[in-house]
Amino acid sequence: MMALQYKDQPFHSVTLESVEKPTVDQIRLLCEFSLIRFDNMLEIRRVLRKGGFQCFGELLIDDANDLSARLTAARIPHRTERTKTWRLA
């Protein structure tokens, strides 16, 4: 069994929750940070209204916390969860 090193850490995922009435600022934020390339703002609006999407890939905890702070500031409800994937140094 391989011993864990101090740099070993789990990845995290950020999942969007639904937004009843997405604002232009919320749509722009998602457009800026999402790994998914949307065709237009109406498509982003549908994603925000529906919720349940992971648009940011797997992130290390510091990156997930930074993204979470931006989403919170934009009033986009979301949840951050640890994935089963680990980064091994």
Give me the DSSP letters along 37-76.
--SSHHHHHHHHHH-----S--B-HHHHHHHHHHHHHTT-
If you average pLDDT over every residue of the chain, what do you get? 87
Asked, for residue 21, whether it belongs to a domain, the answer is yes
Give the separation between CA 66 and CA 16, rounded to whole angstroms.
Answer: 15
Per cent of the chain over pLDDT 70 is 90
| pLDDT average, residue stretch 69-79 | 96
What pLDDT does residue 7 have? 62
Domain that holds residue 39: 16-87
* pTM for this predicted structure: 0.82
One-letter amino acid of 10: P
Asked, for residue 59, whether it belongs to a domain, the answer is yes
Tokens matching residue 45: 């609006």
Asked, for residue 7, whether it belongs to a domain, the answer is no
| pLDDT average, residue stretch 3-23 | 82
Q: Are 12 and 58 in contact (CB under 8 A)?
A: yes
What pLDDT does residue 40 have? 86
Give the separation between CA 27 and CA 19, rounded to whole angstroms.
Answer: 11
Per the structure, the count of domains in the chain is 1
